[in-house]
Amino acid sequence: MTSLRHPQSRESKCIASLCAAIDRCPIIDNHAHPLLRPSALSRHPLMSLTTEASDDAIHSTWSSLAHIRATKQLATVLQCDPNWESVVNCIEKKRFEFAEDWVVQCLEGIESILIDDGLDGEDDAYEYDWHDSFTRSKCKRIVRIEKVAQDLIDAHLKEVSEEEDGKPSFEAIIANFEEHINKAIADPEVVAFKSVICYRTGLDIPREPDEEAAKAIFEQISADYKTMGGGFKRLEHAALNSLLVHRTAFLIQESESQSKKPLQFHTGLGDNDITLNKASPSHLQDFIKEHPKCPIVLLHASYPFTREAGYLASVYSNVYADIGEVFPCLSQDGQEQVVRQILELCPWSKVMWSTDGHWFPETYLLAVKQIREVLKTVMCEYVQKEAVGWKAAIRLSRDVLFNNANKLYDLFIPFTELYEDEDITPATHHRSDYEILDAFLKGRPTPQFLRIYWNDYTSCPRTRVVPFRRVMSMLEQDAPVTLGITKASLALLQNDSSIPGVAPTGEWRIHPDFSSLREGPVMGHVSTYGDFREQDGSKVTICPRTLLAQIVEDASDAGLTFLLGFEIEFVVLRRDDENAGPRFKSLPPNGHAWSLSRPLADTTVMKLLSDIVEELERIDVFVEQLHSESAPGQYEICLPPQTPLAAIDTVLHVREVISNLAANWDYRVTLHPKPFPNSPGTASHVHMSITSPGGGDKALYNSFYAGILKHMGSITAFTYANPTSYDRMGDSVWAGGRWVAWGTQNRETALRKIENSHWELKILDGTANPYLALAAILAMGTKGVVDEEELVWGDCEMDPAGLTENDRKELNVMDMLPASLEEAIEALKKDEIMQGTLGEEVVDRYVAVKEAEMKMYETMGTEQMREWVLERY
């Protein structure tokens, strides 16, 4: 059958997707006011929905384009006649019969509201957190500083007037004000501050406050206090108002938090209480320069000074432009012009939106409805004119409505699209690379380079370095950040020779996983860990990181999730490039031993260790323990537990950080399993816990570790991945021994049980590719659970090397671990279950690489091989 319908053009599909994305985008309302209690509704005119006019001026509002449009829109929602009288009657009915349901309908699509609860008539309104019932995420509070100050002044003067010898104190007021501001800065419920100095004395704030003039004003207020019937209610004194705004900005700027809470300013549009020529944000330029680290938000589109707001936000890093309140107070044409004007110059990453909703829920409904209409009109126009791509237009809309406020106010709300059909379960939105990177960079300097790492089959960390401007350019053009890498990259030895049968032909794409972003390992660089993909985006089955992700997913399907925590043992070596002999030498023994305090007395090494911990904390990796190990210059740091991929990304990045910091002190740090024949070896133990429901069930975790023990011989091929690994293997040296065994708190067994499902694998070192090693371990453990494997090995309470023959039979400690990499590879070749689980292609490639590597080592002498491994691990 031939269709008579014309296929939808690509452009129309893009436009349809853009409009749908705008309609489904949740909104963070970055500035609004509380709703009125029912008892107070009648005291406020509903006509104020679309105007700032009051008294007699409000009666002309019915003939404004904004009011006419709002009437039609409300009539459509209320399903009544499109006239104001019908709309009012329906709203009155809603208030009486369906009050809460009506509020729910009016606030639909709003994720969270940031509420300035300092309006006059606050007793008539609900508290800010009452609104939580009507938004998907909790609402937060904005502190109006003039309200704080006038309440403090009133309370102080009242107290003083009631005391016989009371004397007003300007210094006490300022100190009390600063105390309140600091308390609000520390309060997680407060996300911002607000100043209405625009209403009181204008935005022409001097660059430096005049404290003497402010004090004189306070003294005059104090003298007049007794004649103020009803107390002090309005702070409108230029010098005093300016001083308080400056003090607030200073306290924000000097707060200990890396992320500063913004200071919002009412600008432009307002009632007749504003002096219009002092409402332009251009007056704030000196103030902005004075407080460059205080984030400043210019509210209400600064209308009619919108371009001025856009200019300031474009040239000052700490200034942001809000385009609220003009919805619904302007006509549709006016609103569209506001959006166009703000985008003429201002980057959209500096623009956010608010309802300025207040008193009536209908103000929220109209504002939300109108911003979606206007964004669709303007964005579709820009796409059709090719001013911006349709995907970029979607990102722009989401940033303005949600992401920018989420980032600026540190809300940490996950982006979840809205669905009109209640039968559809909302799907969690997977943040784009752009969104992840944008959130990561908040409060950080823009880096110069992005590193994209992968770990090859010899566990060499390899990386590509991309100028950060190139990364941003790709993201801005909606292009994925990927790089072409030869398919031979997972067939290389440490000297870049490839295994037999693999030529440098064909190309994969490496995709950085931006969820692994970390600063470092050097200043000006940020790093990610990547996955290989085919040109069509399909998975590369032999990619180690992709393999682990698949194994973790398979385990999750079986009801298992895990946490991993790594210990990093490393040896600090002295470089000696001038003299003959070994290039890397051990530090003097100096009584070095396990957990002794003496090794920490070496001030230079201790400075290096301090730098390591400090740098890791700076990049949000928090070391749990640090201590000396047994060999000279050997130390260990313990990392916190994470999910498998995150834990391995972290341990690899920490190794890079440690190596780079050591180089700064002219040291070399090595993970060599046995750098010196007569000193203890170096491992990379991993702690494992089952975190899924039932993980603490003894029968379950026994089966998990039984699966690991059953395949321990072939697992060793991945965990002891270098011939030197087997130099470390030994009995009675706390290295995990040579036997397939486990024991409770027994450091001489390959598996040490610590508590319930928390066990430690001790036969793992820094030459292993941790993605491959943990893929094998978790895969065999999961297999053990699925097969309900019995833990036929008994709890070994002593050194397995000292067991009698009868003890061995009783505990089933009968099998020894492979004594060499050759033996481990042979065990892997014979393990059909391991091959079937990891995939024959993975195992074949790994075996081929390891056999080629061993052949290469055969040409080296003992010392040459030691230096070779020291240089690379």
3-state secondary structure 374-432: HHHHHHHHHHHCCCCCHHHHHHHHHHHHHHHHHHHCCCCCCCECCCCCCCCCCCECCCC
Q: What is the pLDDT of residue 587?
A: 76
Q: What is the pLDDT of residue 423?
A: 35
Burial code (b: 16+ CB inside 10 Å, e: under 16) for 177-198 equals beebbeebbeeeebbbbbbbbb
Q: What is the pLDDT of residue 121?
A: 63
Token pair of 338, please? 């506001």
What is the CB neighbour count within 10 angstroms for residue 590? 14
Q: Which amino acid is at 301?
A: A
**Residues in the chain, total:** 873
Q: What is the pLDDT of residue 429?
A: 38
Q: How many CA atoms lie within 13 A of 240 on its CB side?
A: 23
Beta strand segments in 766-857, E? none
In 3-state terms, what secondary structure has residue 496?
A: coil
Token pair of 548, please? 């682990």
- State the Cα–Cα distance between residues 235 and 226, nearest whole angstrom: 16
CB 188 within 8 A of CB 410: no
Q: Taking Cα atoms as reference points, which of 364, 363, 407, 402 lies closest to residue 21?
A: 402
Query: In the CATH scheme, what is the code of domain 135-354?
Result: 3.20.20.140
Beta strand segments in 697-799, E? 742-744, 751-755, 758-761
Q: What is the pLDDT of residue 9?
A: 47
The angle, 0 to 180 degrees and rounded to 10, between the axes of the packed helices 145-162 and 211-224 is: 50
What is the CB neighbour count within 10 angstroms for residue 659? 17
Q: What is the pLDDT of residue 605?
A: 79
Q: Does domain 437-540 have CATH number 3.90.730.10?
A: no
Residues of the chain with pLDDT under 50: 1-9, 420-430
Which element (helix H / strand E) includes 805? Answer: helix 805-811
Whole-model pTM: value is: 0.57
Domain covering 552-872: architecture: 2-Layer Sandwich (3.30)
Q: What is the pLDDT of residue 640?
A: 87
Q: Are strands 686-690 and 758-761 parallel, antiparallel or unpaired?
A: antiparallel
Name residue, tokens 């700027």.
Answer: 253
Q: Are strands 562-575 and 667-670 parallel, antiparallel or unpaired?
A: antiparallel
Backbone angles phi, psi at 373, to 5 degrees: -60, -45
The CATH 3.30.590.10 domain(s) of the chain lie at 552-872
Vertex 22 angle, CA 16 and 25, to 5° = 135
The CATH 3.20.20.140 domain(s) of the chain lie at 135-354
Q: Find all residues with CB under 8 Å of 186, minimum gap 6, and list them.
A: none
Strand order in the sheet with 483-486: 461-467, 449-455, 525-533, 507-519, 483-486
Burial code (b: 16+ CB inside 10 Å, e: under 16) for 92-104 equals eebbeeeeeebbe
DSSP-assigned beta bridge partners for residue 687: 565, 760
- State the Cα–Cα distance between residues 741 and 749, nearest whole angstrom: 6
